[in-house]
Structure 1
């Protein structure tokens, strides 16, 4: 089992991945930056750090390994513990451990673990496809200094001139002023209309983007393969909503296409859940539930089990 491969997968989606008994790998978003010395532009990314104090098992890594390897939760935990023992042995004997696509771990004289993150890959999914690049520095000429140097060598002399009045008509001057004012007004009106048109285009684009994001919205689990069947709660807690006041529904997902929601219901029912079709939400998405409960305590207990063993994206919807 290549444990670092599963850690790398989770770092794309989570900011903290805990390796039980070893430590936690943390990510933090960094903005785009430029190296002034080399003129290198760096895209936004996630910087990876290591904290050896966070060793408690939160179930994320173990569940992912269990789902990927198609083994039980206990076997996955046992395999991880064996791998951690090997990592500690390598650090003790060789003082360094390289985890592919994650970084280099070393121990100092005091026995503390130091971490040097790998330069690749970039775990920020929004920066996918963006790479670092170098730019040629721009050389700007200081024209003011050149003009001052020319003035010192070639002085400019402005001599007054007398305008001769050769039949000049004063009203032409006023006509020219009116024409200039009119042309200025027309130009300003055109600029105003162009700005309004641009604002309308921007609003339309923003509305289309929000609509697309809403249509894409869905809840899903990260399981690459089928999950083990887990019995959550007795179905005797499930009562129709019209017989009691408030019902508590554990939501499994929301789908834009009704056929996908039906397939999700069949999949959950095969695993032993009392899955059902809840209806459509305010965004027109079809909501599917794991189960429904009249008792809030039972619903919360079932939700904790589902989030630990099935999907961390499950959530509770209480509605009368």
Structure 2
């Protein structure tokens, strides 16, 4: 079972969803920094790991990790993975607790089918592991200038300082006059040797047309696609939320899946495919700038039996 936990640990650094077939899925959540104005503290952003027992279907990611680690083919890697998962399931039934390496613990109460996940507080994703602590906010300034009587203050997230524009204007003019007195020479300016080079002139219409450069030809950029789905690069549209409807471990299986499931072609207009550096193909139905929009779309989509296992992936 050590092989299984090792693969889960490694995948969580590169994947946001690691499915253990028949058990559930480990999910990585990215939480932004939070400002608590009442306490005057800024809490740093962090990652946390959760567990979803509803995601049990094999998406091929864990099998591919086995194959890459041990240089086995797909069938042998699948057989080894299933054996390790069976060992994990057996330990859950006997002891009720399984240590998933540095990730955390899976707990199953006797007589209950639901699993409880307790994340490891000392995992590298934990804030305490890096020693990151909340930091104090800048105090609100209460400074009053003598000349204007205006007070510096905070508006929104920007500090505004009172500045006397008239004083700045006078000082700028004085500095410019001093610079002119220093750098302009006292001798007479001499005219250039070839005065013809500095005389204005006109080109005839015929010469102007000959010297005019041709307008550049703009070529239409072809958007790369995969089986009709728009390919979204890894660095493109960062921070977006994608409603994933299918995940395949490699290009060959992705081709076969789309050919055998034509119903997924309904998402080619608004959706696309995310291809990771490991070759994993994630077909998504739609993408959103906010998590709320993605969750609202997901709740409607999962009402259809064919897309019950759809989930949200953050780029």
The answer, yes or no, to whether TM exceeds 0.5 is no
Q: Could you tell me the TM-score, scaled by structure 2's length?
A: 0.42
Q: TM-score, normalization: structure 1?
A: 0.41
